[in-house]
Amino acid sequence: MSNPETEAALRHLRAADPVLARLIDAGRPIAPAAHEDLYLGLLRAIVSQQISTKAAAAIWRKFQALFGPEGYPEPVALLAFSDEELRTAGLSYQKAGYLRAIADFALRDELDHARLSQLNEEELTQHLTQIKGVGRWTAQMLCMFALDMPDVFPEGDLGIQNAMRRHYGLEETGRALLRRLIELAEPWRPYRTLASKYLWQSLG
């Protein structure tokens, strides 16, 4: 989003939700995400799954170090590594397999940015979840950060759940919690991505 768009989004979110208005006012400005390399974005999302941000950053650095001074994991080069070699970067066997599945998908030209940026969130999620190891959460992270789609709400994300439990005083768990989160996020449309980023920031 450009600056006038960001301003419009913030005005909408402040007016739509007093809790969010407080978080925006207390938080730091959030700049639009750059249009990241989709292939690289997917690899990073897999590395980050189910571990802390700090651990993910350390593993990502070791993983990049396997690919020489540039540190770019070209699909052909990535596919040439064995599981054991990938494990030296701190990756599990399972994640090593997932990263290879992404490289294979990229080699088949299934990650063409120009084509994928034409899809909506649901279509893109369906396309990406064909890759082994890529679930709905990973696809949503890509929509939010690599493609900067403005209206994505990752209700299954643990950080979002924790932030909303805290700020909205929610007691629900399981499916009831997910339903409640989706309900609370409804007035944020069409800017649920920015709202989510402020929720994550509030946990910092």
Does residue 144 surpass a pLDDT of 80?
A: yes
Q: What is the DSSP string of 16-40?
A: H-HHHHHHHHHS---PPPP---HHH
pLDDT of residue 34: 67
Spell out the alpha helix ranges (H) of the chain.
3-16, 18-26, 38-48, 53-65, 75-80, 83-87, 93-107, 113-116, 121-128, 136-141, 158-168, 174-185, 192-202
Q: With bands split at pLDDT 50, 70 and 90, how would you rate the model's confidence at 1?
A: low
Catalogue all structural domains in the chain, each as residue range(s) with its CATH number: 3-32+152-202 (1.10.1670.40), 38-146 (1.10.340.30)
Give the Cα separation of 1 and 33 in Å (integer). Answer: 8
Q: What is the pLDDT of residues 79-96, one digit of tens each?
A: 999 999 999 999 999 999
DSSP tag of 186: G
Q: What is the pLDDT of residues 10-46, one digit of tens each?
A: 999 999 999 999 999 999 999 877 677 899 999 999 9
Nearest residue to 100 via CA among 133, 124, 53, 61: 133
pLDDT of residue 165: 97
* The pair of three-digit structure tokens given for residue 22, joined into one six-digit string: 């407080």
Nearest residue to 44 via CA among 55, 32, 33, 60: 60
Mean pLDDT of 60-79: 96
